[in-house]
Structure 1
């Protein structure tokens, strides 16, 4: 890291008093700055591609092929613009975390609001990979192979995965330590995608796939408002802002961060478009909100059960290995809320270990005893993702604490806020109407 990009306490002292996480971010940056370009791309890609990918085919079912694909690509550009705004204000204020940038604009209250948002959002992201949709039971892989036993049930599998995988991974102190895990996770996501594409192409060739819907069916006001529920779903699938600074701080050459961001978002956009397109083509109007749930039935091809298992195993393993990139910001921000004046977490091994174990335990209990939390997701997902991706970066730009925002920046920021507020209000209204009816 060069002297121009490496933060120091003298540069930051006039702006804000030094808090626990400023100390910790600086300590981590000074301790390690050797992350590679490709390792950073994989880590950021893993931050982006999580359980949200499973909702994209259902989004195209709602919007139709053409508007759905256009929206997926458009959101990727808006996300890139919002992250670049954060990075510009970070550089100007020598900030090394999303919280720092928020604090420079809105003080400690702004930072606390951001931390609470990240904690809730990250907990949902951790739980969303292990929850069922709408209370419908879909047999797990082990249950499908061996039948219903205590050792093929949800609770035992979650405990086993936690002990064997999550607990070892929770001790990563920096995100670059997860680069090989992220590489494997991205590879598994691509394997999942390639098999879905292969199955869809096979069925297209033999003529067993119906003609897709190109545009949404709008028949009344309810169906019109329901269209807007697609925006928060796609935004949720792209949110990565809470890990951008951590990845930049660890880069050997922090000037590469924009290239890392563009490479990662480009890869994610391609994966999202192909998953949405081929998933919707494969199942058509039978597409379920969680695409994975479609793969417990006969696909109408030879070796259908084998392909179902490959798809489900590869995706499940992908979601499991995303854990480190989600868990690190969750632990960091929750610790900042609970112990704002304590010494850096990475320097307090007892607090680090106890906090990590506590978070994993809470996540495990939540996944076991709250198997259906999608009603809550439909409402909070329609707000938290929009706050992190659009509202907070745009608000920082409009506040302009360093006087660097251009007229174009402010126009873009106002547009982001309008988009987020309007789409989220419409989505909340539609979800509430569906729930009450």
Structure 2
């Protein structure tokens, strides 16, 4: 036996690599050989099989989370107030990390290799299909938002001037649709064509670094203006003084939950993790959550302090004005161009799980996508074309985040992981959830359902008011 095959699988008596064409077994024999604590035993032991290291997994998961959602957080802070906003950022971050741990644990217990498979194990084929549709809608919406932000920054929007217009003046070169198309074809398509998510580890590391640069600059500007007395004291709590303010409260919480959703990329990241085990993946999740909570809190506070009641749904568009400090123009360019590059590196990570899910749904029973280069490229081209068309029709990121946050994001991030855990813990019968974990799972489920329902009501009501 050569060194590449020297490993021992704890499920060695069972064919873990179930063919995609075979439906998962829903009987309790899926759990019969799992008389061990999944949190402390690796799925694979022995020599590593050349997967992703811990750092690469953290970068990929962090990149999945810190995408465009960060740009909407200052606007949510404007609605919630500083104290309420910070509490929600920390609370939702912790719950999201807990739900990731639940998802990984029950992937191992049910011997599933994807989000859809673990859902199928708990609730059957129809729920698997519904989950895959949720992932497709959520990820496609995220990628559309990325292109909208790139267009806003490069070409400008109704109330804001774009970078190209500032540099070169108005002309064909700052035409929004053309600029986005060029970025899509020249920069995004080659990265999206890669077949393994581990291949994106370096670009993910670059994207995290660029996000940190944005946070550092925004915080530095806010601190300078604060010490110079140019910033008024921020509002600490939500405003309940008007019907519009209450409606805003109903829709910003789903936007906040949307900012942490990464669960669709957890299975592929876990599957490619070197010497993978639930314990190692939990460490990845906790490090990632800590990073994201800090980045989100600093971004939300600094963005709100800088622009206060003028904070836009996409705070990047606010960086086209004089910031009231030295080198304001140069800092504005660094922030906007740097974040466009960040989104260029984030885009392929979200696209990866979108393509995998579409392939699983449409070509069920076919060979794995990694073994069919033609099918992979064809799917990439079709999906990028549809995403580009979507970016030309949706008016702004606030609209996209309000609806995906209240529906697919809250389902994928909180509802499904909790109901999977509560259902499969009964089937497994191996104390897979303790009393505290069950209580948290129920709390997360009830909270997510309430948030989703109130968010949808608020979205529909606000749209009806706008149409009148």
- Do both proteins adopt the same fold according to a TM-score greater than 0.5, normalized to the shorter chain? yes
Q: Select 2:67's aligned residue among 50, 57, 62.
A: 50
- What does residue 87 of structure 2 align with? 70
Name the residue aligned to 1:346: 370
Q: Is 1:112 the counterpart of 2:112 in the alignment?
A: no
User: What RMSD, in angstroms, separates the aligned Cα atoms of the two structures?
Assistant: 2.6
Q: How far apart, CA to CA, are the structure 2 residues paired with 1:36 and 1:411?
A: 33
CA 8–190 in structure 1, closer or farther in 2 if over 3 Å, else same: farther
For the 8 Å contact 2:322–2:328, the answer to whether it is kept is: yes
1:334, 1:219 → 2: CA distance?
45
**After superposition, what is the alpha-carbon deviation per residue over 1:66-114, rounded to whole angstroms, capped at 9, x for unaligned?**
1111110111110011111111111111212111211110121121111
1:364 counterpart residue number: 388
Q: How far apart are 1:234 and its partner, in Å?
A: 1.3
Q: Structure 2 CA distance, aligned partners of 1:57 and 1:374? A: 12
Corresponding residue to 1:402 among 415, 428, 433:
428
User: Helix, strand or coil for the counterpart of 1:10?
Assistant: coil
Output the CA distance in 2 between the equivalents of 1:11 and 1:103. Answer: 15
Partner of 1:334: 358
Question: Which position in structure 2 is the counterpart of 1:23?
Answer: none
Alignment of 1:241-390 (within 5 A): 241-255=263-277, 256-372=280-396, 374-390=398-414
Matched, 1:90 2:90: no
Residue 364 of structure 1 deviates from its aligned partner by 2.1
Instruction: Give the deviation of 1:223 after TM superposition.
Output: 3.1
Q: Deviations over 1:159-198 (max 9, x none)?
A: 2111221111012111110010001111111111111111
- The question of whether the paired residues in 2 share the 8 Å contact of 1:72 and 1:269 is answered with yes
Query: What's the CA shift string for 1:232-275, capped at 9, x where partnerless?
Result: 11111100111111111111121311111111111011000000
Secondary structure of 2:334's counterpart equals helix
Stretches of structure 1 that go unaligned for 5 or more consecutive residues are 20-25
Q: CA deviation at 1:381?
A: 2.5
After the TM superposition, which of the residue ranges 114-123 and 92-101 deviates more from structure 2?
92-101
- Structure 1: distance between partners of 2:341 and 2:362: 32
Matched, 1:391 2:415: yes
- Is 1:163 matched up with 2:168? no
Instruction: Name which of structure 1's ranges 309-318 and 138-147 shifts more when overlaid on structure 2.
Output: 138-147
Q: Which moved more, 1:412-421 or 1:40-49?
A: 412-421
Q: Aligned partners of 1:426, 1:102: CA distance in 2, in Å?
A: 25
SS in 1 for 2:237: coil
Separation (CA, whole Å) in 1 of partners of 2:214 and 2:134:
31
Residue 455 of structure 2 is aligned to residue 427 of structure 1: yes
Confirm whether residue 17 of structure 1 aligns to residue 22 of structure 2: yes
Q: In the alignment, which residue of structure 2 is the partner of 1:130?
A: 147
2:197 paired residue among 155, 171, 175: 175
TM-aligned CA deviation for residue 31 of structure 1 = 11
What is the rounded CA distance, in whole Å, between the counterparts of 1:31 and 1:355 in structure 2? Answer: 31
Aligned residue for 1:3, secondary structure, equals: strand
Determine the C-alpha separation between the residues in 1 that align with 2:185 and 2:230: 44
One of 139, 142, 146 as aligned partner of 2:164: 142
Between 252-261 and 397-406, report the one with greater CA deviation: 397-406
The CA distance in 2 between the partners of 1:146 and 1:228, in whole Å, is 42
- Kept in 1: contact 2:255–2:401 (CA 8 A): no
Taking a change above 3 Å as real, the CA distance of residues 415 and 359 of structure 1, as seen in their structure-2 partners, is: same
Aligned length: 428
Contact 1:226 1:426 in 2 (8 A): no
Q: Secondary structure at the match of 2:15?
A: helix
CA contact (8 A) 1:36 1:252 kept: yes
Q: Tell me how far apart the structure 2 counterparts of residues 201 and 153 of structure 1 sit (CA, whole Å).
A: 36
